[in-house]
Amino acid sequence: MCNLSNQTVKRLFIFVLIYLPLQYAIVGIVGLKSSEPWPAFVFPGFKSVYVYGDSYQLNDFVFAVEINDNRLMREFTPRQFFYEIPNSQLAGFVRTNLESAEDSIAFDSSTRKWFHERGDELLAATARNIYYIHRRRYMTRLDGELKTDSVTVIKRLNIAEVAD
């Protein structure tokens, strides 16, 4: 068993006391430029505020899969579409991989194929176009109940385009 001397332990504490705030500053800067670095000694901030008085703002993400035969759409939540990904990682996964994408070219052919296969599996039929939709829902409390005021589409992206 390697036991550290008291002097080494004191130096280690001084290093940690300097390192922790320094790495936090770096996490902040890198996080602003791209995403949160890892490994880092931080906990989640959850700093966003979505409630102002009696008005609430929610962000909905859905995957609309077009059925090849009749061109009808079926919507799936991220939890349904990416059922294997843990719920704790889903929102971040969607934000990183889909919210940042500009168009379907952002995904290579193997990824588009994967989306199609997933669409086929969920529909139990052949999927055509698959859309990623980000909606913002505004809710108000009326007579003690939460009611949706309005819905705005923030983003609609065809992630597995099929040529007509």
Partner 1 sequence: MKSNWFDRWIFESYQPTVQGLALFRIFASLLILFFLMPDATYYFDLASFPDDFFTPPPGPMMFFDSFPPAWVFFLIHGLLALSWICILFGYKTQIASIAAAIFMLILLGFIFSIGKVNHQMLIIILPLLMAFSNWGGAYSLDAHLSGKRAKANGWTLTLLALFIGFMMFTAGFPKILGGWLDIDTFATKGHLLNQYFVRGRTELLSGYMVSMNLPWMWGMLDWATVIFETGFLIAVLRAGWTRLFVSFAVFFHFSTMLTLNIAFLVNFPAYAVFLPWGKIHESISSLIDSKAKPHTIPIIFGGALFGLFGIIKIIDKMNPYMPVKEPSFDELVLISAAVLVVIILSVKKVIDLISSVKPRSIDTL
Q: Which residues of this protein are in contact with partner 1, per CB under 8 A?
A: 1-4, 6, 9-10, 12-13, 16-17, 20-21, 24, 27, 30, 34-53, 56-61, 77, 79, 84-93, 95-97, 106-108, 110-111, 113-114, 137, 139, 141, 144, 146
Residue 14 beta carbon to partner 1: minimum distance, rounded to whole angstroms: 9
- Identify which of residues 2 and 163 has a Cβ nearer to partner 1 in the complex: 2
Q: Which long-range contacts (CB under 8 A, 24 or more apart) does 75-83 make?
A: 75/133, 76/122, 80/122, 81/118, 81/122
Residue 150 CA neighbour count, 13 Å, CB half:
3
Q: Is the dihedral of CA 75, 137, 133, 77 positive or negative?
A: negative
Residue 134 beta carbon to partner 1: minimum distance, rounded to whole angstroms: 11
Residue 126 beta carbon to partner 1: minimum distance, rounded to whole angstroms: 20
